[in-house]
Structure 1
Amino acid sequence: MIQFVQAARIASGSIRSSKLRSALTTLGIVIGVAAVIINASLGASFNQFFTDEVTSVGSNFIIAYSDQPNLFYGSELEIIKNTPGISGVSPRKIIPGEISYLSGTKSVSIVGVNGEFQEIQGIKMEEGSFLADKDIYSAVLGYDLAKEEFGRSISHRSNVDIAFRQEDGTLVRKSFKVKGILENSKETIVGGDGSTDMIVYIPISTLNEMTGEQDYGAFFAMADSSENIRDVSDEVDRRLARNFGIPERDIDDEDAKPYTIFNQVDVLEETGALGAALSSFLLVLALVSLFVGSIGIMNIMLVTVTERTKEIGIMKSVGYSSSNIQSLFLLESVMVSAFGGLMGTAIGGLGAYILETALKLPPVFPFKLIEIGILVSVIVGVGAGLYPARKAASMKPVDALRYE
């Protein structure tokens, strides 16, 4: 059996003798492996992005809402609050309104909540503090609204006027003391109030007093641990269903209920499925590129076998066996492919980082991709070089020497 070092030296010499062709052959693998690395890394980044988006709207959250008015009241709030496993719950109601400061007026969304809403939604403050249950005419403003919209910064001790119209058209206007300013936020893909930069939070009791209403639009609750979110959510669902006279057999039928309930686990599963589908799609595209690269290697190796027919005849005539010849050509194919894999992995890692930064995705690079990239390139080299190597090994010395 020919020694590996000697075989590697011969294969390296063959590669160096046709530098341009070897480079072009390697390029196909470089592009294919780089595409696999980039797309796999992007898939992992998208999965992390979806997870971060879900967790950014609160921890262990359970949300019940309805498009029907006058459905949720204080009795439903007590039902959820008294459900085992619930550590906090806040009603939430949103109405359009206006906020005035000095001589400026801006259209905003007025959101009524209670003091537990901050913990449930994971809200962070830039200045001051969030609402407390004892507050009446206090307001918490979004960052952009407080710092940029009026041309002059609103502090957490300023006074603002908040106005909106009741259903009968009556304009209601009250003066509120700004209790806090939210941190600068961003849009989220799930739940919550999206970007809170143009939001005004006020106590929901004050909101209902000003509107003359008593109902709530939704409930935001929090389970006491991440392990039992789904169980607690199901229990809340059962209790609300009983409250509205829905038979137990119809609890799982969303059309039978006047409300919708979902939780953090549900959202994570949906976004996880979306991320997995996206990752699979990107990976398939990358594998197509790698397949094209492998065809390129096979094609070049077949040409190489044809060009080196006389060389093969000479090698066999001086004692090289068919297995020796096959090993030489197979090793040459693997060396070209492995070098391309190393280059593709490096370029893919850099490309993934650049794309993730440009798309503002969390930079996630699974380092196992380095091993996978090199392993895949070696497998491609073996697969693409096997047929040409066998073709070279099967040549008869006499026929090879006579080849013109």
Structure 2
Amino acid sequence: MNELAILQSIKMGMRSIKGNKLRSVLTMLGIIIGVSSVIVLVSIAQGSTSNVTSQINNLGTNLITINTFGTDLSLTEDKINKLEDKDGVKAISPVVSGRVTVKKDKTSSQTTLTGTNAAYETVRNTKVTSGRFLTDLDVEYRQKIAVIGATTAETLFGTESPVGQYIQLDGNSFKVVGVLASKGSSMGQSGDDVVIVPLSTAERLTKTTSINQVYLQGKSGQNMDFVMAEVENAMASMYPNQTDNYSVNNQQDLMSTMSSVSNTMTMMLGGIASISLLVGGIGIMNIMLVSVSERTKEIGIRKAIGAKRRDILWQFLIESVVLSAMGGIIGILLGLGLGKILGSTLSMTVTFSNTVVISSFLFSLIVGVVFGVFPANKASKLNPIQALRYE
């Protein structure tokens, strides 16, 4: 079939669609709903995936977290140094945590206290918007200085700059030397309502020297499995037969698990939405069968004046594909529009993918071909004499 004949068939298909506007719209509705549903649901799923990935990355890069349970299993300075000496370890940051009452003038609130060292800034991917972070000298000389989170700064100081001013932590005066950049919530916990002080100062403030959490950063993502094995072996030798009393978690394992869950969710949502595309295809087939019945005499006339079987086949097949293509284009526009509306009104992360948009459109075309073949084949097989006599 040459290009001119294909173009002529497309024009005939468009003429038929225009002649039955309401029926054509209702026929395309299944395709429109199917394509838009695929785009919206998969985009929401991909947005959730990127949001979770971003939250995990906010925890730090190439991160290994060591937690011990109970004061009997606290990590001492010499044990932390042994972990730091392992091959592939870039930096290590011990942490003492607690809850403190932070006060400025008449404003006070309960907030998270984190006592740590200078390496925490690198290990936990922490940025300072104003002032500075902790230094090794602050830890060595037990300085009463604090770096506060964005939420804490807003609560205590409003729009005023906190750097250089003093706050009270459980009645002790601390000088604010820096304000952290907002990180939002990571894994369900706010990273902005926090006060970070030198590790040695925090031990005094919380009246404990028990270090039950250590963050460790690997030199590169490629050797994290090796570093993980090194750390696990070191912990096993330091705490023999006590594996139930401590945990070693690799950030990449968490990332892999979350990616697997997210991919499964994306496939499931895409599969559910694709069902409506199949339903739309059945609708196209039904309408095309009706169209064949209505235009039996027309088919007979075309065959009588020399139209071949393949010409009739192409005519109805192209009409079916035109219907599904128009439905696919409208579905794409509707899906992109709905996605943007949902993203802005519900504060959802919606990530559009060209691959998903193109795939859903191609799938709608395939549906048009598959479900258009049967009625087109039926039309092409009609006997011209019987078709002309059809009432």
| Structure 1 residue 363 displacement after superposition | 5.2
Residues 68 and 338 (structure 1), Cα distance of their counterparts in 2 relative to 1, 3 Å cut: same
d(CA) in 2 for partners of 1:150 and 1:158? 10
Is the contact made by 1:101 and 1:160 (CA closer than 8 Å) also made in structure 2?
yes
Match of 1:303 among 290, 293, 306: 290
Q: What runs of 5+ residues in structure 2 fail to find an aligned partner? A: none
d(CA) in 2 for partners of 1:338 and 1:263? 47
Alignment of 1:136-175 (within 5 A): 136-149=143-156, 153=160, 155-163=162-170, 173-175=171-173
Residues 48 and 70 (structure 1), Cα distance of their counterparts in 2 relative to 1, 3 Å cut: same
- Whether 2:195 is the aligned partner of 1:200: answer yes
d(CA) in 2 for partners of 1:196 and 1:258? 27
d(CA) in 1 for partners of 2:285 and 2:301? 23
Is the contact made by 2:68 and 2:213 (CA closer than 8 Å) also made in structure 1?
yes
Residues 104 and 45 (structure 1), Cα distance of their counterparts in 2 relative to 1, 3 Å cut: closer
1:188 maps to: 186
2:268 maps to: 281
1:100 maps to: 103
Match of 1:242 among 234, 237, 240: 237
Alignment size in residue pairs: 384
2:247 maps to: 260
TM-score, normalised via structure 1 length? 0.89
- Whether 2:228 is the aligned partner of 1:233: answer yes
1:168 maps to: none
Is the contact made by 1:241 and 1:257 (CA closer than 8 Å) also made in structure 2?
no
Question: Which residue identity does 1:87 align to in structure 2?
Answer: K
For residues 273-308 of structure 1, give each alpha carbon's deviation from its aligned partner in whole angstroms, at most 9, with x where no partner exists: 121122112101210121121111111111111111
- Whether 2:216 is the aligned partner of 1:209: answer no
1:14 maps to: 16
For residues 141-170 of structure 1, give each alpha carbon's deviation from its aligned partner in whole angstroms, at most 9, with x where no partner exists: 12222222466846221122212xxxxxxx
| Structure 1 residue 394 displacement after superposition | 2.0
Is the contact made by 1:45 and 1:356 (CA closer than 8 Å) also made in structure 2?
no
Question: Which residue identity does 1:127 align to in structure 2?
Answer: S
| Structure 1 residue 175 displacement after superposition | 1.9
d(CA) in 1 for partners of 2:332 and 2:295? 31
d(CA) in 2 for partners of 1:67 and 1:239? 17
Moved more, 121-130 or 69-78: 69-78
SS, match of residue 105 in structure 1 = strand
Is the contact made by 1:345 and 1:370 (CA closer than 8 Å) also made in structure 2?
yes
For residues 327-361 of structure 1, give each alpha carbon's deviation from its aligned partner in whole angstroms, at most 9, with x where no partner exists: 11111101111111122122222332333344545
d(CA) in 2 for partners of 1:212 and 1:27? 68
Is the contact made by 1:86 and 1:223 (CA closer than 8 Å) also made in structure 2?
yes
d(CA) in 2 for partners of 1:108 and 1:238? 36
Q: What runs of 5+ residues in structure 1 fail to find an aligned partner? A: 164-172, 247-254
1:119 maps to: 122
SS, match of residue 364 in structure 1 = coil
Question: Which residue identity does 1:176 align to in structure 2?
Answer: F
d(CA) in 2 for partners of 1:14 and 1:314? 17
d(CA) in 1 for partners of 2:110 and 2:359? 54
d(CA) in 1 for partners of 2:18 and 2:158? 68
2:177 maps to: 179
- Whether 2:85 is the aligned partner of 1:78: answer no
TM-score, normalised via structure 2 length? 0.91
d(CA) in 1 for partners of 2:20 and 2:261? 46
SS, match of residue 172 in structure 2 = strand
d(CA) in 2 for partners of 1:336 and 1:397? 26
Is the contact made by 1:142 and 1:196 (CA closer than 8 Å) also made in structure 2?
yes
Is the contact made by 1:85 and 1:223 (CA closer than 8 Å) also made in structure 2?
yes
SS, match of residue 257 in structure 1 = helix
Query: Which contiguous aligned blocks of 4+ residues in structure 1 show a shift greater than 6 angstroms?
Result: none
d(CA) in 1 for partners of 2:341 and 2:111? 37
Moved more, 150-159 or 338-347: 150-159
Moved more, 73-82 or 109-118: 73-82
Greater fraction of residues in helix: 2
Is the contact made by 1:128 and 1:181 (CA closer than 8 Å) also made in structure 2?
yes
d(CA) in 1 for partners of 2:270 and 2:350? 18
SS, match of residue 71 in structure 2 = coil
Is the contact made by 2:104 and 2:156 (CA closer than 8 Å) also made in structure 1?
no
CA RMSD in angstroms, aligned pairs only: 2.1
Residues 350 and 224 (structure 1), Cα distance of their counterparts in 2 relative to 1, 3 Å cut: same
Residues 294 and 141 (structure 1), Cα distance of their counterparts in 2 relative to 1, 3 Å cut: same
d(CA) in 1 for partners of 2:331 and 2:218? 46
d(CA) in 1 for partners of 2:150 and 2:278? 51
2:34 maps to: 32
d(CA) in 1 for partners of 2:239 and 2:113? 28
Question: Which residue identity does 1:272 align to in structure 2?
Answer: S
SS, match of residue 222 in structure 2 = helix
d(CA) in 2 for partners of 1:266 and 1:176? 38
